[in-house]
Amino acid sequence: MALQRRLFTSLLGSPPAIRCAVLSGSLRPRMIRALTTTPSCCAAAHKYTALSIPIARQSPKSRCSLHASAASAETTPKAAQSPGVTSDDPEPHNTRQPRQASRPRRVLFTSSLVVIFFFAGFAMAAAPMSEAIDGFISPPTDAETLKLFEPLTQTSADINEHIVNHPLCRRLRQQEGMVESRPHMKIPPTMRPHNLTGGTLLGENKIEVPPLNFSEKEAELPTLVQIAHLGPALCGHPGIVHGGLLATMLDEGLARACFPALPNKVGVTASLKIDYRVPCPGSSYVVLRAQTTKVEGRKAWVKGWIELLGEEDGDGTPLVEAEALFIEPKYAKQMARVYSTT
């Protein structure tokens, strides 16, 4: 190490012509090996050259030789290096990028996925709607509605058994012209949650069994008799059924009574007058009776009342009375198929 440093120092102190001759002669390979195989010496030599040698004293020829030596040292192949010395330069990486699909192919693939998922979502969303539309287009018959209801609890089974086998129902079945049905069962199952008396108010401790109807549809002035059970969850005050529920039942019951007499079998409530007589106790069997009193074109007048169901075939205690006027709208033809639940 000291010998190389003294040699390099004396060489730098010699005249430019001598330095050029020495560097271009036999000592050039040894100097290059010393500089390239000894990093500390190389660094010291560069430091010494940069700090101690005035640039003006170096001739163009010597500078060319030094630059050529440095370039030769930098470009020396790895095979010429010592076996114990490794290069700090990292191995060149494979910069070749994977081939990507063409733009039209990517666009086509993305568009296909969008279309597939769109139609799949549309089909799943349209399935309940198609079922509801089919239910409105071809609703079950009156006789079929009697078989659609299946009690889910023992309580609802007992209530249904009591209503179906009551003496009043047995007498009405034998009456000529009377049609037995459960009109709420004509509403499609997917639409029942959106119906007040056919969905929201049906259930345990409410209206557990769909009301049973007997209607005289073919008469000039049709009539209707409806039997239902009102559970304790329908009370407005403890033990007393809410008066609003009774008004709702009268509104629907009087409408069902007169609809067969209207041209398109459908109408809307124009007026409803209610007189409450006696509070209705909770957990009661009640009977709604309605009678169409007059029909003029698209107008029908109806009166009716709700009473407690007696033990036998007789009349029970009247609870509330009502009178109503129903008018068939001008667009009734479009409504008739949708509201064909009378």
150-163 pLDDT tens trace: 999 999 999 999 99
Q: What number is the average pLDDT over the span 240-246?
A: 97
Q: Where are the domains of the chain?
A: 2-76, 132-338
Q: pLDDT tens digits, residue range 203-240?
A: 999 999 999 999 998 999 999 999 999 999 999 999 99
| Segment among 262-276, 279-293, 311-325 with least mean pLDDT | 311-325
Q: What number is the average pLDDT over the span 164-174?
A: 95
Name the CATH code of domain 132-338 (choices 3.40.50.11750, 3.50.50.60, 3.90.1010.10, 3.10.129.10): 3.10.129.10
Q: Per residue in 105-141, is it b (16+ CB within 10 Å) or e — as a string?
A: eeeeeeeeeeeeeeeeeeeeeeeeeeebeebbeebbe
What radius of gyration, in Å, describes the C-alpha atoms of the chain?
A: 52
pLDDT band at 279 (very low <50, low <70, confident <90, very high): very high
Q: What local confidence, expressed as pLDDT, does residue 120 receive? A: 75
Q: What is the pTM of this model?
A: 0.61
Q: Which residues are registered as beta bridge partners of 312?
A: none
Is a pLDDT exceeding 90 seen at residue 98? no
Question: Cα–Cα distance between 289 and 275 in angstroms, integer?
Answer: 15
